[in-house]
Structure 1
Amino acid sequence: MSSFLARWIGYLLYNFRGRDHGLAVRLLNLEDQNPEIELTSAVFNDNDYMPLSSAGTGVGDNLSPELKIVLPSGDSATGSLVLVCQDLDAPLPNPITHLFAYDIPTNKTEFKQGDLNETDTPEGFKFGSGAFGRVGYIGPRPIPCHGDHRYIFQVFAINEKATKEFRELDTRPDLSRAIEIMKDNVISYGKLTGLYKRD
């Protein structure tokens, strides 16, 4: 696709964006609760632009950003963590899932650049199925001239019941299946918003 055509499509679809109703936090009815988990990145601040290194293939290096998770003090009920990233502004009926990782141990609270990219055997956790069946981190690659896209990183601390159910799955789950398992089983959550746009 020519750059002119891509930009024309971006302008044409500028007011067509995904819906916030598909955000995992909202699907789990957590929006009215204050986030208790601190989720930060060394390469971008909350509601700030993500670096080119984190942008998708063909745009940037497609390396997952550094992430740090700080769980609430005194938390002893968490069985595992789930990490999700969604693009809320793609011109589709629902957000695009750019990352879905689960069965993350509670002591795995720091991810270096690239740690969440697809590998055959990710260390200490598992990947679910993301957008279009892809696995691992998918960097931002919004349509040119479509404005800012919000990439919402969300981390969920889930109880032992949900952790056990995830571990008993015999197929790779997608986010819809994960929401079913996590419903009413989330102990705490946190989120971090990164922005990206292409002119």
Structure 2
Amino acid sequence: MTKITPTGKHMEYYNYDQGIEHVFSGILQCKNADCKELVTISGQCLKDIVYGKELPDGQLVEDRFSDYFPKYFYPNLRLFKLSDKIPANVSEQINLSFSNYFDDLSSCANRIRNSIELILDDLKAPKWKKTNAGKIHKFKVLHQRIEHYGKRNKNIANHLLALKIIGNEGSHVGNVATEDVLDAYEILEQLIEFAYIKETKRIAEIAKEIVTRNKPRTAE
């Protein structure tokens, strides 16, 4: 179902040169015979007219089109498969990030950052270290904790640092790009392979590049 918005009606009054804005909603069903899952969908739809070819009599032929921009899915779509080997609390944060992906990239990136803190807890990464004087020094920031864990497993720490850098961008509204979040998902999926499933070589170069630059790959 599609319905024009008040903004769309305003654009229609001015001949909608930028398109007419609608909202849409519907129900999707998986075509896999073993699944047939139902998913509700809603979002924005822009309808517009493109002038096509001119007929011999001078008449212009109009081509109409609609662009759909999904914002919400329920149940939410998963951008990669979540193994049952992942701890439940980690899996929950990742799944919540999937829910935010289409509508709020900042929240999505923050959920990814939350998941890596929980992964560190599950890997028994220390939250403190002893100084040369024998005193207990608690890590004040996540970066320090990850770097310290790197003494035990440099590869996993490198992936965690890359995810932390992208996750931090989520704290600044408008700073995180879709491409950065997709990088994060690739790195996170590989991290899960390293930490919980098996060691395979993929995405290591992306993680290394982000850590070396100390910023997402799209940042100047």
TM-score (norm 2): 0.26
Q: Which structure has the larger Rg over C-alpha atoms?
A: 2
Greater relative contact order (CA < 8 Å, ≥ 6 in sequence): 1
The structure with more helix, counted as a fraction of residues: 2
TM-score (norm 1): 0.28
